[in-house]
Structure 1
Amino acid sequence: MLGSTSCSQQQSQELIHLQSDPPVAGELQHHQLLLTCARYISQTNFTAAHRIATILSANSSPSGDSSERLIHSFTKALSLRLHPPSPNNNNIITENDDAILHASYLSLNQVTPFIRFSHLTANQAILEAIDQSHHNNIHILDFDIMHGFQWPPLMQAIADRHPPPTLRITATGTNINHLRITGDRLAKFAHSLGLTFRFFPLLLPHTNNNNDNMNDEAETVNAIINRLSAVLILPNETLAVNCVLYLHRFLVNRDKLCLLLRKIKSMNPKVVTLAENEANHNNSIFISRFNEALNYYTAVFDSLEATLPPNSRERAEVEQVWFGREIADIVAAEGEHRRARHERFLSWEMMMRIAGFQNVRLSPFALTQAKLLLRLHYPSQGYNLEVVNDCFFLGWQNQPLFSVSSWH
């Protein structure tokens, strides 16, 4: 009882000190306040956490510098955790947000190297797998194709070959209209190249719906596995499976994710490309997950600050919608409701090996291409590329942000 009183007195003194200080100005002070607020939440001292969140709100802005914008996003997430939505709307990302998320994805692809780096490196791995194959027909199974930005450069590359191979894409998604629009766009581009091309949409269940427990999530994975059984695999074609920023959403049930990986392995692909956030946002301990997210997104926001003008509309959209929603989900959601479950490459490496896959070494040419992409389009000294265990890592300063690897 005496220890509890002492702890309460210490917290009160901390709050008095914080409230008596002048407005917070430094990034280090911002981070300290955020961590203190998160610590109070982990201790269920919601009154103290709310007071600090109020101080943070007064000292942050979505239109300030990178530190202020970061503090704004994390404060919103902490406030959402302190005042969660109703039980009928307990997911941070919902089906109704498809249009907003697709628009922010367009901006993400335009103003950051993250998506282009993943696509470019994955495409090179696919091209090299094709070169090692004796077939002149290519089949790509693309999980969550989105707008299909990845494929025109690859289509151009294979169209220049003599004779050009045929290309078939089986594209998964959760919105049939988006899939059809993407398919029509790619078909027109293939026609302009004189490339024989076929597109097959494969509608999958939505993973960001109102599922409230792991059993529902497991049923989603079961449904995906069953629908993959309907994918036609021809004996005279090279199969490539593309998983860019996709598989992490199934980490809520690791056993089911491993079943999905084994199903993909059973399809006998020549190559599987894998791109994921290089972070551990799947820690069940809130304060550890929060600290990891704070370090990770500090680097992300700093990279945007260094490479984009202050009034960039696209940057604001990427920060507030794409990354802002990731932050909100990592910080505010808990248990089975949390969807953003990124893990580091070492974890993916273990799961891929358990499923029967082996690393495919990415070529020196792929590394040269990735470096050229950064130098030409994102000429900042802050971005860096590293190769570890046959995996490419794109980072900002000393913080790895994304990994791309290929498997067979």
Structure 2
Amino acid sequence: MSCQEPEFVTAEDVGGFDDLWSSYGFYNEGCFEKGAPLVLNDQQLFSDFAFMDDMHFDSISSAISVAAETDQPASNSELLQLDEKSTPPLPSKTSELLSKYQFKFNARSGEKPNESIERGGSKLSTEDFMRIAASFFIQLSTHKDCNPFMLNNQFGLSFSGLSSAEIMNVELAILLFSAAEKVSQQRFDHGTNLIKECYKLCSKTGNSVQRVVYYFADALQERIHGGKGTVVKAQEVMKALLSNHPVHLATFRSLPLEQIMQFTSVQTILDNLGSAKKIHLIDLSIKHGLQWTILMQALSNSSSVDYVKISAVGTSEEEITSTGKRLTSFAEILKLPFVFKPVIVSDIKELKEDMFKIEETETIALYSSMDMNTMIIKPDRLENVMKVIRNLRPQIVTVVDVEAKHNSRSFINRFTEALFYFSAFFDCLENCMRGDERVRMIVEEDFFSPGISSIVAAEGSERVIRQVGIDVWRLFFARYGLVEAELNQWSVYQASLLVKHFACGESYSFEVNGKALLVGWKGTPLHFISAWKFQ
């Protein structure tokens, strides 16, 4: 990136940096001092949990009545409580972060200035670049006369540990932050100018930073134009996520993430079946059903099992029947008594407990993977599913979902949370799907891009992608009498061993939150795995 000011960007386009980051809770007391810590305004965090205002949780009468019956508090403040452990990590201090690279750079004799700086044997991650850019963005807020396109000159000391290519990544991210600020202020002319400059330097086929900026610039542009078209695209993505899409298998092979979540969930279900003879498994969106082959293998040597029944919920009879045939064939090979039952509904709000044909002596387990967050925008569907689960009263419920805060009513909060979340995910795909770039591009363009657009560009009922983390779901599930159960600890240990078989495995991170397990990339949580029982 040139250090000269771009042709179409004025000083006014890039000026006034305070508003964006002060809105998100980062602020400087007086002038910025190099190495000074960034302070997080705790009060701002509560806006992330205002999602129930959008969901109209007050209308979920059954949840409130159950709360009354079980002596659970039913006030809305329940969902506004913030566990201190869930506070998002602060970005690294700029001088502290860069000094590590500078030390590595200085320690390596004869290194060329344009070589990538490494820390612990790995290059800067996509999220690292975003954090560095965010810190410089804050510095610029106290230097109104600064030209952000000449950062290498004005902050040369801080940039001394970065290569020219890495500096371009940082400057590109700063352009994106500047554009987001202008869009948040509805200064669309200035925002458009900055987005144009982003497009000149980014691409959906470029490096991971360039790809992230490309899709977020697209989303900002859509927001300027009223967010039209984001609903249809996002709804298509949600359908694909819950369907038997071919990309699921491809990512399953390349990413240990899905395998970890499935293995841990199934092992926890097995732990809670006890000596059950008639096992009834309910899957809210079975997809390829690979997780059940793990369970079937584990049960195949048990002479005490009369049968295993799987009830698969979905809208496509063709896809579910295809999955059922594969699982039936697998059970025959194992000589395991097996029943597969499709439960076809055109809309999840039509789901009823009598559709599952429960036998009196059956032990029920329910599995939900990426289902709950798709229903946040549709509280009547979510209410219906929870009522069905409560009436079925499974022995164990396992829930796997997104660990994110993409449902704030504040545009800036959503933009920032989404940017760091997807930066980590893009970095994960970049590292784990080398040699399978075609599938990676499909995931990013067909799945991630519409989600980013919905989160950033849309408002109100048009914003159909709304994701919250385990802390919020924990409070919500409690209203229906569900309490968190222990995950199988052996499976958690096995998960840590599993990732070692992947070239990118050392970058996966595991964190216990309550009794749930957060699986992330380089310390940034991406998904949670949890188990639940009725009181």
Same fold (TM over 0.5): yes
Cα 1:83–1:11 change in 2 (3 A) is: same
The equivalent residue for 1:213 is: none
The equivalent residue for 1:210 is: none
1:403 deviation in Å?
0.5
**Does residue 119 of the first structure (1) align with residue 262 of the second (2)?**
yes
Question: What is the distance in 2 between the residues matched to 1:363 and 1:63?
Answer: 41
The aligned runs of 1:25-40 (5 Å cut-off) are 26-40=168-182
Question: What is the distance in 2 between the residues matched to 1:41 and 1:230?
Answer: 48
Counterpart of 1:153 (choices 290, 294, 308) is: 294
Q: Could you tell me the TM-score, scaled by structure 2's length?
A: 0.66
1:179 deviation in Å?
1.0
5+ residue gaps in structure 1?
Answer: 1-8, 207-219
Contact 1:24–1:59 (CA under 8 A) maintained in structure 2: no
The equivalent residue for 1:273 is: 398
**Does residue 351 of the first structure (1) align with residue 493 of the second (2)?**
no
| Structure 2 letter corresponding to 1:65 | N
Larger displacement relative to structure 2 (242-251 or 253-262):
253-262
Question: What is the distance in 2 between the residues matched to 1:372 and 1:96?
Answer: 32
The equivalent residue for 2:247 is: 104
The equivalent residue for 1:250 is: 375
Other structure's SS at 2:281 match: strand
Counterpart of 1:312 (choices 420, 423, 437) is: 437
Question: What is the distance in 1 between the residues matched to 2:420 and 2:289?
Answer: 31
The equivalent residue for 1:176 is: 317
| Structure 2 letter corresponding to 1:355 | Y
Cα 1:353–1:255 change in 2 (3 A) is: farther
The equivalent residue for 2:388 is: 263
Question: What is the distance in 1 between the residues matched to 2:480 and 2:171?
Answer: 45
Question: What is the distance in 2 between the residues matched to 1:121 and 1:375?
Answer: 16
The equivalent residue for 2:362 is: 237
Cα 1:336–1:108 change in 2 (3 A) is: farther
The equivalent residue for 1:62 is: 204
Contact 1:277–1:344 (CA under 8 A) maintained in structure 2: yes
1:71 deviation in Å?
1.4
Question: What is the distance in 2 between the residues matched to 1:290 and 1:229?
Answer: 42
Question: What is the distance in 2 between the residues matched to 1:203 and 1:273?
Answer: 21
Other structure's SS at 1:202 match: strand
Cα 1:47–1:310 change in 2 (3 A) is: farther
1:20 deviation in Å?
8.5
How well do the aligned residues superpose, as a CA RMSD in angstroms? 2.8
1:64 deviation in Å?
1.8
Cα 1:40–1:96 change in 2 (3 A) is: closer
Cα 1:158–1:191 change in 2 (3 A) is: same
Contact 2:14–2:178 (CA under 8 A) maintained in structure 1: no
The aligned runs of 1:3-402 (5 Å cut-off) are 11-12=12-13, 14=15, 17=147, 26-83=168-225, 90-95=231-236, 102-131=245-274, 134-205=275-346, 221=349, 223-224=350-351, 227-254=352-379, 257-309=382-434, 312-402=437-527
Other structure's SS at 2:454 match: helix
Cα 1:21–1:169 change in 2 (3 A) is: same
Contact 1:239–1:270 (CA under 8 A) maintained in structure 2: yes
Larger displacement relative to structure 2 (270-279 or 367-376):
367-376
Q: Deviations over 1:222-245 (max 9, x none)?
A: x23xx3342211111110111111
Larger displacement relative to structure 2 (29-38 or 115-124):
29-38
The equivalent residue for 1:3 is: none
Contact 1:136–1:237 (CA under 8 A) maintained in structure 2: yes
Contact 1:53–1:75 (CA under 8 A) maintained in structure 2: yes
Question: What is the distance in 2 between the residues matched to 1:275 and 1:232?
Answer: 25
1:405 deviation in Å?
0.5
1:331 deviation in Å?
1.7
| Structure 2 letter corresponding to 1:118 | M
Question: What is the distance in 2 between the residues matched to 1:115 and 1:313?
Answer: 19
Contact 2:278–2:305 (CA under 8 A) maintained in structure 1: no
Cα 1:90–1:393 change in 2 (3 A) is: closer
Other structure's SS at 1:183 match: helix
Question: What is the distance in 1 between the residues matched to 2:381 and 2:319?
Answer: 27
Question: What is the distance in 1 between the residues matched to 2:518 and 2:227?
Answer: 36
| Structure 2 letter corresponding to 1:75 | A
Other structure's SS at 1:139 match: strand
The equivalent residue for 1:209 is: none
Question: What is the distance in 1 between the residues matched to 2:308 and 2:327?
Answer: 11
Question: What is the distance in 2 between the residues matched to 1:117 and 1:82?
Answer: 39
Contact 2:431–2:504 (CA under 8 A) maintained in structure 1: no
Other structure's SS at 1:199 match: strand
Q: Could you tell me the TM-score, scaled by structure 1's length?
A: 0.85
1:356 deviation in Å?
0.3
Cα 1:284–1:255 change in 2 (3 A) is: farther
Cα 1:120–1:13 change in 2 (3 A) is: closer
Residues paired across the two proteins, number:
381
Contact 1:107–1:315 (CA under 8 A) maintained in structure 2: no
Larger displacement relative to structure 2 (39-48 or 91-100):
91-100
Question: What is the distance in 2 between the residues matched to 1:253 and 1:180?
Answer: 27
